[in-house]
Structure 1
Amino acid sequence: MPRPQRCEQFISSDVCVVHVTQRCVRRAWLAGVDPLSGRDYSYRKEWIRRRMEALASVFAIDVLTYAIMSNHLHLVLRSRPDVCAQWTDEDVAIRWLRVFPGKRLEEHLAEPNENDVKMLVRNKERIHQIRSRLSDISWFMRALSEPIARIANKQDECTGRFWEGRFKAQRIVDEAGLLACSMYVDLNPVRAAVASSPENAPHTSAYDRAKSKSGEKINSAAFDLKPVSTEEAVHEIRDKSLNDLRQKQAKKRNRPIDKRVSPDAWLSPLRLKPDKLASDAEVHTEGVRSSNRGFLNVDWETYWELLRWTARQSVETASTEIPRSLAKSLRKVGIDAPLWRDLVWNWPRYFGQTSCVGSPEAMKEHAETVGRRHHRGQALAAHCFC
């Protein structure tokens, strides 16, 4: 079966949930300890996390779960064109200029100012195009991958690819598939035996949420969405030497907001609000993420308990019985509780080669909408769902 086109998996005008995988070239350990040279590049995981946090503040993309490994990363993303439609043209312009400032004649003009925003707003055709891109998962991944590759190559004094190629995408079509995929992503370090439990697995969404529940605060990496005033820009140009301006603006170009936030503030809330309609965009107004909409019908305590129980079910210590309360939560979303552990721990066996994730019925329905008879893996995963 040929590899599906991006337009068959998601388009920027639809709200959709996608599991994204991006691997380092030749699966090299470019964000971990290189087994050949012994050099430790683990600090690059924080580069990637901070970049994702910054992009979550400007794109109409909800980051649901993530895990950053030594040679690849996982993201579960939800595009939100409904949120982007609520933004003014000025909002769209400053968000875009923060990520893609464009070419400037002088380095000191790199910081977007009010005049830059006004000029972009007057170009209605361009604003329409940008609005579409801000809710496009492909553009989000482009804005994430390119800067990381450039910085790493500069540090290593080399050229060429950092990432393997275009990212792999899997459309998630129902809540059962979303719950299983979220658990698989959060448990990646445990499955890879680089962490003993979710509590000891930094650079995952579950770790960030757990730290937030304990009251921890960190400096936000979200972009400052206020443009520099024209008067301030002119004043700096007049009163500073060009060399000083270049150094100062290089630091301010991607300046974050001056704010202490919870480690998971940039992530989508976990639980869906029962009193909210599906058509409600739930636009976030504090500048650290796009919306306040959750993505699962379980609370954090249930999710965390299920995550920890699943993490303990290694091949050697697999339990044959799942706690009754957790089994009930799984049955609510249509997952066969006795086979839950197998579904998460052996995820690549069931969904490693498919472009769609979900229950067999939901996968079949989605296949028909894109003109296919079925999705690969549809029959294999059938016995894991009720």
Structure 2
Amino acid sequence: MPKPRKQQVSVEATPYYHCVSRCVRRAFLCGTDTSTGESYEHRRGWLENKLLELPHTFAIQIAAYAIMSNHYHVVLYVDSEASKLWSNNDVVERWHSIFKGNLLSQRFMRGDELNKADLARLQIYITEWRSRLTDISWFMRVLNESIAREANFEDDCTGRFWEGRFKSQALLDEAALAACMAYVDLNPVRAGMAKTPEASAHTSVKARAEKAKSTKAANHIYQQPKELLPFAGNPRQDMPQGIAMKLTDYLELVDATGRIIRDDKRGYIPENSAKILDRLGLDEDRWLSMTQNFENTFSTFAGNEGKLRSVCERMNYRRPPGLNRCRTAFG
């Protein structure tokens, strides 16, 4: 039986989460239905635009994504510290950008005078909305509901478009994050939809590669796509917010891995990419295994044994789920 989402998400343990949402039955998110010949390719743009729009509202950023024919993957970064800096006005404005709010919040934004009781009640709403705007369940809910409404309107039908629950995996350490991001970015390559990562449409790796080609300082955080969580370079003191890795190293590693997966053989990983694997504590075989089967290899958590045991103890798990797999994968 699936565990409640609150038992799967702990921002104190990790801010990174891999989420997957799939369509029900034969519903098509994108691509072409081979049985009818009807194309739904334009829906890929709907989802990508909405996905990259929501971080302007939520305290959640996008680290990686890939939009497939009947499902999509996204790696989310929960920036809970950012939401603490929002004023009450900021919270209400953000909430009103996706929902109507209520009479109190509407009066507040109009500048109407509120008595003490109204202000106290409004503060309760604002506290709740601030929490929801840092919640991956609410992020996925807003994203999925908007796409479902558009798709059902276009199909002239009602009912479920997505499966009831999205899948969530907590990425507990740097190695798990890197492997999961590569797994997500290489989805179209594994599915035969693209020959190379940078040619795979509607993916984060394509957006990062295109931006990198147009700038002389690809590793500078301000020269990377604004819609995505930047790569901040190798770990060091006073690091800016971002993924602890150089963008160019990551792109080379994903490209090399994509060639291996596409050729269905172990192949050769360039020397500079191998250095990243050494720093992450991974050998080539474990890396290739994870980047091909990450979603099915791990259940709720992915990371080294120490991190897994620590998180599960904090969240009152009787035993760490997937302990043997994490131990094998991350040594």
Alignment CA distance shift 1:333-1:348 (3 Å): same
Cα distance in 2, alignment partners of residues 27 and 171 from structure 1: 29
> Contact 1:17 / 1:173 at 8 angstroms: preserved in 2?
yes
After TM superposition, give the deviation of residue 331 of structure 1 in Å: 1.5
Give the deviation of 1:54 after TM superposition. Answer: 1.4
- Aligned residue for 2:323, secondary structure, equals coil
- Whichever structure has more helix as a proportion of its residues is 2
Q: Is 2:236 the partner of 1:274?
A: yes
The correspondence of residues 13-162 of structure 1 with structure 2, limited to 5 A, is 16-26=15-25, 28-102=27-101, 114-115=109-110, 122=119, 123-162=122-161
Question: Do the aligned residues in 2 keep the contact of 1:13 with 1:135 (CA within 8 Å)?
Answer: no
RMSD of equivalent CA atoms: 2.8
Distance in structure 1 (CA, Å) of the matches to 2:98 and 2:12:
21
The TM-score with structure 2 as length reference comes to 0.87
Q: Show the 5 A alignment for 1:1-386.
A: 2-10=1-9, 16-26=15-25, 28-102=27-101, 114-115=109-110, 122=119, 123-215=122-214, 264-271=225-232, 274-276=236-238, 293-295=241-243, 297-314=244-261, 316-351=263-298, 354-386=299-331
Q: Deviations over 1:21-54 (max 9, x none)?
A: 1001125333221122111101101101111111
Unpaired runs of 5+ in structure 2? 216-221
Which residue identity is paired with 2:132?
R
Identity %: 36
Residue deviations 1:287-312 (CA, integer Å, cap 9, x gap): xxxxxx212x2211100000000001
Report the Cα distance in structure 1 between the residues aligned to 2:264 and 2:10, rounded to whole angstroms.
42
User: What letter matches 2:96 in structure 1?
Assistant: L
Q: CA deviation at 1:340?
A: 1.6
Cα deviation for residue 192 of structure 1 reads 1.0
User: Aligned residue for 1:251?
Assistant: none
Q: 2 CA distance for matches of 1:311 and 1:152?
A: 32
Query: Which runs of 5 or more structure 1 residues have no equivalent in the other structure?
Result: 105-109, 217-260, 283-292
Secondary structure at 2:25's aligned position in 1? helix
Q: 1:150 to 1:179 in 2, by over 3 A?
A: same
Cα deviation 1:107-160 (Å, max 9, x = unaligned):
xxx9x99517987x9421111111111111111111101111111111111001
- 1:174-233, Cα deviation, whole Å (9 max, x unpaired): 1111110010001011111111111110111111111112339xxxxxxxxxxxxxxxxx
Task: Tell me, in whole angstroms, the C-alpha distance in 2 between the residues paired with 1:152 and 1:29.
Answer: 9
Q: Using the TM superposition, give the Cα deviation of residue 321 of structure 1 relative to its aligned residue in structure 2, in angstroms.
A: 4.1
* Greater mean deviation of Cα atoms: 358-367 or 52-61: 358-367
Q: Is the 8 A contact 2:14 2:171 kept in 1?
A: no
Counterpart Cα distance in 2 of 1:369 and 1:82: 21
Aligned-partner Cα distance in 2 for 1:152–1:118: 42
Matches of 1:43 and 1:118, distance apart in 2: 46
Secondary structure of 1:170's aligned partner: strand
Cα displacement string for residues 342-386 of structure 1 (whole angstroms, at most 9, x for unaligned residues):
2211324422xx111112332233222222354443313433334
Three-state SS of the structure 1 residue aligned to 2:306 is helix
Aligned to 1:312, the other structure's residue is in SS state helix
1:320 and 1:338 in contact (8 A); partners too: no
- Please tell me whether Structure 1 or Structure 2 has the larger radius of gyration of its CA atoms: 1
Instruction: Report the CA distance between 1:265 and its aligned residue.
Output: 1.2
What is the CA deviation profile of residues 83-126 of structure 1, one whole-angstrom value per residue up to 9, with x for unaligned ones?
Answer: 1000111111111101112589xxxxx9x99517987x942111
Whole-Å Cα distance in 1 between the matches of residues 127 and 312 of structure 2? 30
CA contact (8 A) 1:67 1:203 kept: yes
Residue 238 of structure 2 aligns with an amino acid whose one-letter code is K
Distance (Å, rounded) in 2 between the aligned partners of 1:371 and 1:330 = 32
CA distance in 2, matches of 1:156, 1:167: 22
How has the CA–CA distance of structure 1 residues 383 and 323 changed in structure 2, closer, same or farther, with 3 Å as cutoff? Answer: farther
Aligned residue-pair number: 317
Length-normalised TM-score, structure 1: 0.75
